[in-house]
A = this chain, B = another copy of it.
């Protein structure tokens, strides 16, 4: 089954590593190494910002090239049209400035990122001649926050929920949380005027995504592919948008880490759970083994740490993990500088057992701990006091167990190991014989008999 990339991935090729292995980027293997293992139908990472030092992304954008062919007159129509409106004076009103978030993007809706990628996906599906797995990765919803009409004013300040935050969160916050609360994005989203401008735009981008997903599903249905296509809708992270006094995505509150995951398995075996929700501690790494199983392959547990979700989809109750893990490395961020940390100390670990959520921060900091049963909004950091040391110890125990997972034996499967057991005995490795009577004669046959020649004196 071909595996295809359509849209965004933030993966950067390990150019030096590939050179060491002699992998040319334009060889089949090299191209896949450069594209997270996928064949690339069309890749566009969707962040074509440019400043005094040039473009943020050193590649070039197929989406920008598309816009140029559609008559958008600019070297960077992504910035000038898809992600900018027009102000009253006829000037660009960039989506980078939240003040412009309620203006319509200066682009035909059909030419904006999401419909463009939907059409690319349909074009891929229509030409495919063999079974496929497609990673269809939309950039939006994402900053810059500006939305094509009619989605730009579909939602207003009246639709914006109150920020999920509490003053006590700012009282002696964990140092890493404190650093993040004080950064530029967080400070912007602490402003109600910013939330009331940006969140309706965010909602508009989501509604556009919903509609385009409908276009895609209609196409699958119209072409008779609904019954043999598994569909997974998920995301790489959430967004605080002012909750917990935060912006963006960098810590482990549910707003950031509890991502949507909707799976449609067309097979009758999934009928039992259709429309149901599942509270199991599922991780994104479970998708790869799920896909391998669906494709009829054997899941290599020595390579893939996740577990197939098919048992859940088919109404079984498999023995499952007791805790979920998330990791974050903020070593390139201003928070690393603010906290004065070396790169290796800018690493965060979350362990969540369904009730308690612990964050371990390297760099000598205390942990954070939330009890989601008694505090589902995650306002009370129980690690501020010392009343929950036994819970903290338990969660650190989980994290330590995870730290000792077998991430090293990747070249041999469990079956390889089991098939090796006892093998050396019948291949002449007998480092325990006193006189040979310990084993059947056939094992020592090669080592007995006349000496072919004598080279030493008696």
A104, A193, A404, A409: most-surrounded residue (chain B CB, <10 A): A404
Residue in B closest to A70 when the chains form the complex, CB atoms: B455
Among the 9-residue stretches A159-167, A252-260, A286-294, A340-348, the one with 4 or more Cβ atoms under 8 Å from chain B is: A340-348
On whether A426 and B53 interact (CB within 8 A), knowing A81-B455, A450-B91, the answer reads yes
**Is A331 an interface position by the 8 A CB rule?**
yes
Whether A91 pairs with B453 at a CB distance below 8 angstroms is no
Q: Which of B143, B337, B427, B455 is close to A49, meaning CB atoms less than 8 Å apart?
A: B427
A84, A451, A457: most-surrounded residue (chain B CB, <10 A): A451
**Is A124 an interface position by the 8 A CB rule?**
no
Residue in B closest to A420 when the chains form the complex, CB atoms: B332
**Is A17 an interface position by the 8 A CB rule?**
yes
A185, A336, A403, A447: most-surrounded residue (chain B CB, <10 A): A447
Which residues of chain B are near A296, meaning CB under 8 Å? none
On whether A429 and B108 interact (CB within 8 A), knowing A400-B403, A447-B96, the answer reads no
CB 8 Å contact bits of A103-133 with B (1 = contact, 0 = none):
0111110000000000000000000000000
**Chain B proximity of A319: nearest CB distance (Å):** 13
Which residues of chain B are near A435, meaning CB under 8 Å? 97-99
Q: Which of B191, B343, B454 is close to A414, meaning CB atoms less than 8 Å apart?
A: B343
Residue in B closest to A15 when the chains form the complex, CB atoms: B411
Per the bound structure, the CA–CA distance linking A248 and B432 in Å amounts to: 10
Scan residues 16-63 of chain A and give those whose CB is less than 8 A from a CB of chain B. Answer: 16-17, 20-23, 27, 29, 33, 47, 49-56
Per the bound structure, the CA–CA distance linking A183 and B431 in Å amounts to: 11
Scan residues 435-458 of chain A and give those whose CB is less than 8 A from a CB of chain B. Answer: 435-436, 438, 442-458
Per the bound structure, the CA–CA distance linking A131 and B29 in Å amounts to: 35
Whether B52 pairs with A443 at a CB distance below 8 angstroms is yes
Q: Which of B17, B56, B336, B349 is close to A427, meaning CB atoms less than 8 Å apart?
A: B56
**Is A155 an interface position by the 8 A CB rule?**
no
A108, A406, A411, A433: most-surrounded residue (chain B CB, <10 A): A433
Q: Which of B144, B331, B421, B449 is close to A332, meaning CB atoms less than 8 Å apart?
A: B421
CB 8 Å contact bits of A316-360 with B (1 = contact, 0 = none):
000000000000010111101100001110010100000000001
Which residues of chain B are near A407, meaning CB under 8 Å? 407
A21, A27, A79, A407: most-surrounded residue (chain B CB, <10 A): A21
Per the bound structure, the CA–CA distance linking A97 and B430 in Å amounts to: 8
**Is A304 an interface position by the 8 A CB rule?**
no
On whether A342 and B414 interact (CB within 8 A), knowing A427-B54, A438-B184, A446-B76, the answer reads yes
A107, A191, A332, A337: most-surrounded residue (chain B CB, <10 A): A332
Whether B55 pairs with A436 at a CB distance below 8 angstroms is no
**Is A423 an interface position by the 8 A CB rule?**
yes
Whether B99 pairs with A191 at a CB distance below 8 angstroms is no
Q: Which of B94, B362, B411, B445 is close to A447, meaning CB atoms less than 8 Å apart?
A: B94
**Is A392 an interface position by the 8 A CB rule?**
no
**Is A390 an interface position by the 8 A CB rule?**
no
**Chain B proximity of A45: nearest CB distance (Å):** 12
**Is A372 an interface position by the 8 A CB rule?**
no
Per the bound structure, the CA–CA distance linking A446 and B457 in Å amounts to: 91
Residue in B closest to A98 when the chains form the complex, CB atoms: B434
On whether A90 and B450 interact (CB within 8 A), knowing A417-B332, A431-B185, A455-B107, the answer reads yes
User: Would you give 10 A-B contacts (Cβ < 8 Å), ordered by A?
Assistant: A22-B29, A49-B427, A51-B425, A51-B443, A79-B446, A86-B451, A86-B454, A91-B449, A92-B448, A191-B434
List of 6 A-B pairs having minimum Cβ-Cβ separation, nearest first: A403-B403, A49-B428, A184-B432, A400-B400, A94-B447, A51-B428
